[in-house]
Amino acid sequence: MQITQDSVITLELPYREQLQIWRTTFDSGLEPGRRGPTVAIVAGIHGDELEGLYVCHRLAGWLEQLNATRPEALLGRVELYPALNPLGIDTLQRFVPVFDTDLNRSFPGHPKGLLPQRLTDAVMRQLTGAALVIDIHASNVFLREIPQVRISEDFQDTLVPLAREMNIDVIWLHGAITVLEATIAHSLNSRGVPCLVVEMGVGMRITPAFTAQLMAGILRVWRRLGVFAADLAVPELTHEPVVADNSNVHYLNAATSGLFVPEVDHWTSVARGQRLGSIVSPHEGRVLSEVRSPVDGLLFTLREYPVVYEGSLMARIMALDPAMTSGRGAT
């Protein structure tokens, strides 16, 4: 096994410093024909989403341990890109600093374009040919998400079978949206490189339990793809996803502004009419608005940041067929 670190692009900053995207690679070193596929993890596209960075750390540790114990079990190549927006992470900014650009609306990029486009072009060049890319996101600072994979209906035939083994809780199928064609996932999938988008946790935080859960799924899928020897032991799957789509996801937006105080835990079964929380006024003792579930279902998104404006999203609930409700929601 060969372990290397390199940067896939170097761009000059105005005063003496450079912007680089770093990659850690674990390669079997086998010659073509005998070697397994290349897979990659990309994270940190948004500078305030840290869950993917920790996943990279844990995967690197697992692979380093493999190198110490059974290096020949790596047949393919694993590339970890913990921070596609390193300047954003280093300065705690979601978007590309100075350019104020969402890097995940800048794909597939251009080698002679603006800085964000040069970053995305460099990444796309490296990832072309991969057997699977997993793009890990961590919601934002407002909402906590249960581990889930989001898939455009355009690519569901390829991606849903992979996602089912990812040890996540929800697969969310969504319709094609033009603006999302500038994401890394769409750009890769439309070029024939399977890319799964993982959302989990909350911005500016890490959730070690989610990391361990996702790691089991990632290692399982990689082994299935032939990145590892078939007899290599990987953690067992502990979660089976339910499938959400636009027909069964309900959004709960704030009826008024104030402080949202939840009364239920994230990722629990809720009943139609059940009180999930309330919006209160800091100025007075009364409750401004009660937040109730419109359906029987699973609470898979819950607001983490208490201040809400009228319209702020507080929760998302996946409606369940009553016959399916029992037994769901356990973590």
φ, ψ for residue 225, nearest 5 deg:
-75, -10
Site membership for other proteins, residue 250 (CB under 8 A): no
Of 101 and 156, the one with the shorter C-beta distance to other proteins is 101
Whichever of 22 and 99 has its CB closer to other proteins, that residue is 99
| Contact of 181 with 198, CB cutoff 8 Å | no
Which residue from 180, 172, 176 is spatially nearest to 198, judged by alpha carbons? 172
Closer residue to other proteins (CB): 62 or 305: 305
Which one of 2, 6, 7, 11 is in contact with other proteins (CB under 8 A)? 11
Binder to other proteins among 178, 284, 286, 326 (CB under 8 A)? 178
**Residue 142 interacting with other proteins (CB under 8 A):** yes
Residue 135 Cβ vs other proteins, minimum distance, rounded to whole Å: 18
H-only helix segments in 70-169: 86-90, 115-127, 156-163
Nearer to other proteins, 11 or 271 (CB): 11
Is residue 13 a contact point for other proteins (CB under 8 A)?
Answer: yes
- Of these, 129, 161, 251, 273, which contacts other proteins (CB under 8 A)? 251
* 29 counts as binding other proteins under rule CB under 8 A: no
Quick one: which segment of 91-99, 148-156, 208-216, 224-232 binds other proteins (CB under 8 A)?
91-99
Backbone dihedral angles phi then psi of residue 132, each to the nearest 5 degrees: -165, 135
Nearest to 28 by CA among 3, 56, 58: 3
**190 contributes a contact to other proteins by CB under 8 A:** no
Q: How far is CA 279 from the centre of its chain?
A: 29
Compare residues 264 and 313 and give the one whose CB is closer to other proteins.
Answer: 313
113 is a contact residue toward other proteins (CB under 8 A): yes
DSSP secondary structure letter of residue 31: P
Question: Which residue from 90, 240, 290, 310 is in contact with other proteins, where contact means CB under 8 A?
Answer: 310
* Helix/strand/coil for 143: strand
Q: Per the structure block, which two tokens stand in for 43? A: 């994270």
Binding status of residue 256 toward other proteins by CB under 8 A: yes
Is residue 258 a contact residue for other proteins (CB under 8 A)? yes
- Distance set, CA 277 to CA 150, 296, 309, 328 (Å): 27, 16, 15, 21
| Residue of the chain from 22, 99, 325, 331 that contacts other proteins (CB under 8 A) | 99
Contacts of 300 (CB under 8 A, 6+ apart): 145, 146, 148, 169, 170, 244, 266, 267, 316, 317, 318
10 Å CB burial of residue 322 (0-12, 13-18, 19+) is exposed
Segment near other proteins (CB under 8 A), from 32-40, 128-136, 221-229, 255-263?
255-263
242: exposed, middle or buried (C-beta count within 10 Å: 0-12, 13-18, 19+)?
A: buried
**Residues of 109-145 as b/e, b for ≥16 C-beta within 10 angstroms?**
beeeeebbbbbbbbbbebbeebbbbbbbbbbbebbbb
Q: Which is nearer to other proteins, 69 or 178 (CB)?
A: 178
Stretch that binds other proteins, among 63-71, 149-157, 198-206, 311-319 (CB under 8 A): 311-319
Rounded to a whole number of angstroms, the minimum distance from the CB of residue 85 to other proteins is 14
Q: Does 294 contact other proteins by CB under 8 A?
A: no
**Binding positions for other proteins, 219-248, rule CB under 8 A:** none
**Nearest distance in Å: CB 71, other proteins:** 39
For other proteins, the binding residues (CB under 8 A) are: 11-16, 19, 94, 98-102, 105-106, 110, 112-118, 140, 142, 178-179, 181-182, 251, 253, 256-259, 282-283, 307-313
